[in-house]
Amino acid sequence: MQRPRRAGPLLPPPFETVRLSWGRPEVRAVVYQSLAVLALIVVGWEIADNVAANLRKQNVASGFAFLDRTAGFDISQKLLAYEATSTFRRAFEVGLVNTLVVALLGIALATVVGFLLGLGRLSSNWLIARLSLAYVEIVRNVPLLLQLLFWYFAALRALPMPVDSIALSFGGYLNRRGLYLPAPVGAAALETICVATFAAVAMAALLVHLARRQRQQTGQSFAAGPIGLALVVLLPVAAYVWSGVPLAWDYPALGRYNVEGGMVILPEAAALVVGLTVYTAAFIAEIVRAGILGVPRGQREAAAALGLSKAQALHLVVVPQALRIIVPPLTNQYLNLTKNSSLAVAIGYPDLVSVFAGTVLNLTNQAVEVILVTMAGYLFLSLTISLAMNLLNARLAPVGR
């Protein structure tokens, strides 16, 4: 006959509940992670306190009050209103916007070029496949900094001097100091036109979403692409005409020593965008190639059995499935491009590092604060890009996952 087990000591109900909860892995994980975060906070506080104490001993100013002081320097390329009398805070905003513009342009162009190169790597045409392979292998194995220096000093410096500027058909000029374009001025209704453009883009995106949803539910769709394109083009034009054609244009004019008027795209900006595009496109091409090869062969065979052409099968069957493989590593390349834009300091483009971690740091000597603000700027850009790509990746995930 089996002897009954001896009962353990009885605990009050609250202690018994704690003992039972501690046996759950998720409870222990939360406790351990909370203790780790608390330890990091304590260590970070100690480091910050020691840094502040050392700065006080050396009579070095600390804090972020310097952001509201007058900057006292100019920025060559700026998309926001800025003068030498503006504050360091405004200089930070100008540098952040300059970095953001270069990153967005580089991401858009590198994506297009990379997709074309990835498709070229898989082309049945021997010449296209070998040229794409040569591009990828050469560009990937040359340092980005060296490529930026090549585009700036070798390619763009070969342009003529301002007195020998190349006249463009639309009223612009091109020389080694930049690309001069007509600039809109006196636009009293420019805000209305911008609102109309934003509304047109939003309506076009909604039409594409509705068309995709209708195709998934009924198998039929409508021409959302042409309708959306017509909205994007016609609605801003209608707002422009309705406002009484308010825009006037300031055309650049060739002076005795330089081109005057209009707006200018500096060669530093052009070299940076071209260098980042060419370099990142080589990596995106391999990601696209791997994503397409990751689609099962049976999907192509099923598309051919349905009578789809190679182009239709690629557009309707292969690429939509390949995007599920392409998007996660593509996010890393977008982040790398954004952070690699900090190499602009080597060619003199006023990005965030050049303006804030360079000029502002030399003027204020507040290295800790300047570096922290610069890091916060890049962290904001990286988290924004990651959020957008994660949302896109969630939409591309298979149903039920």
274-286 pLDDT, tens digit each? 999 999 999 999 9
Q: Output b/e per residue, 165-175; b: 16+ Cβ within 10 A.
A: beeeeeebbbb
Tens digit of each residue's pLDDT (9 = 90 or more) over 248-271:
777 888 877 788 877 788 888 889
Residue 126 CA to residue 371 CA, distance in Å, equals: 50
The mean predicted confidence, pLDDT, of the chain is 82
CA 258 to chain centre: 34
Helix (H) or strand (E) holding 174: strand 173-175
Fold classification of 88-186+247-396 (topology level) = MetI-like fold (1.10.3720)
First CA to last CA across the chain, in angstroms? 53
Q: At what angle do helices 319-340 and 367-396 cross, to 10 degrees?
A: 180
Q: Write down the pLDDT at residue 111.
A: 94
Longest dimension (CA), the chain: 114
Q: Which two tokens stand for residue 343?
A: 């190499």
Q: Which phi-psi region, left, alpha or beta, contains residue 262 (left: φ > 0; alpha: ψ -120 to 50)?
A: left
Query: Which amino acid is present at 313?
Result: A
State which residues of the chain have pLDDT below 70.
1-23, 55-56, 58-62, 185-191, 221-222, 244-247, 398-401
